Structure 1
Amino acid sequence: MEQKNINEYEKEYSIKNHPDIKGIQIIEGKNNFPISWLNKQGYCEYQIYLESIKGIETAATPEMTHGSDIHNQLENIFKQDATPTSFEDAVEASKENALMSRECFVIAPELGIRGYIDEIWMKPDEIVIIDDKPGRTPYQSTMNQVRAYCLAYKSMTNDERLIKAALRERGTSNLFWIEVFTPEVENQIKFTIDRMQGLLDGTKPFIPTKNPNKCRSCRYKRYCEHYKRD
């Protein structure tokens, strides 16, 4: 597949930072959150409250730093051989010839989501949207994250090609989970996004995880009133 570095977008939006919630932007008048937050939401909603509403800062874990290093290395290698193009031109060109890109930005202001797809394969007959994760387990939270990327891509393009969501073992070519983005899956992820919007506008409560193993490994446990110390 031809490598394309997507770095231009025809459409521009009205954007401003939320006055109270770190990481939230107000785009076209609606709260807009990073799609990666769906991974946090599936792990523990209360983490989002502590980090983004209370503004608690913690140091990155070694696992997070290692993941970022691998991610940056792959991105730099990709850019060496990739040809710059616009998002719209890439979508149109891929209807004839397959291409791939990394760090492809997608946004759906009407849904309040935005994010960067780790890797996207645009083929004449299908679109494959890939998110890189450590390990080989497809957790609900990681599946929701890549589903939301699919939803945002579809919202931007109205692409009628088959769209697939995939999780790949970081640093390898192993796609350990892949799913067709069906109307049923689309409805499910819209429901989850709606809950996230409710958390952000205060109409729904942040629910902490009930998994003690998650609590013990949480970066925010010393600040969390729900953490039960042994």
Structure 2
Amino acid sequence: MEDNAPPVITLVVPVLNEVETVTIFVERVHTVLADASWQWNILFIDDGSTDGTQREIRRLSQAYEKVGFIALSRNFGKEVALSAGLLNARGNAAVPIDVDLQDPPELIFDFVNIWQTQGIDMVYGIRSDRPEDTTAKRHSASWFYRLFNRITETPIPENAGDFRLIDRRMIEALRAMPERNRFMKGLYAWVGYQSVGIPYRRPARVKGESKFNYWKLWNFALDGMFSFSTLPLRIWSYIGGESRAWRLYTSPS
């Protein structure tokens, strides 16, 4: 792109069975970003939906020139869908954002302003107010961030989800990483680069229900901790070694 051309920003939107929300999302984004001084587009990644979401996205892509999509062959999980979106995002930066509008698209203006004026490579949203989350969910999230940052050498900001602006050079670094089981919040931090957080109030979902239950969140947390820390492996290796030594000690000679 020419140096004086307005930047191009791709909104990366993973979806799974969100037929009720995709149209609302597109209409809201078009309204909010109508007067943006930069160019933008929406890239949906359909993660194996079975409820007609892909059909609705196809319709939207025909009705709106700014809407594109990738259809995965099956459900691979949000981390893979995000990676596929970043792999195919075009332009100068990408903004991963949830389709349920709990990530307010209005905040993208602040992301872009800081990115352009301060030269920050990543601007991320901090969920400073989460009134719609249950007490159990808030406490479990707080527990996860504290434990993760205690046992790993790659701390991640507390209460920061995937909603953020990522500069092109950081995207290229993420694309070059060969991991298959990807914990994106950890990878965002691991590659380095300058980053800054912006607090925001996280509203309720506009429609539908979250696809993450407590079991999925628990396994997601374990994936993150095992991916970025050797402590769990060392603990179980120690327990296994002690157990074997005890059996040898107590077995008949």
TM-score (structure 2 length as normaliser): 0.25
Higher strand residue share: 1
TM-score (structure 1 length as normaliser): 0.27
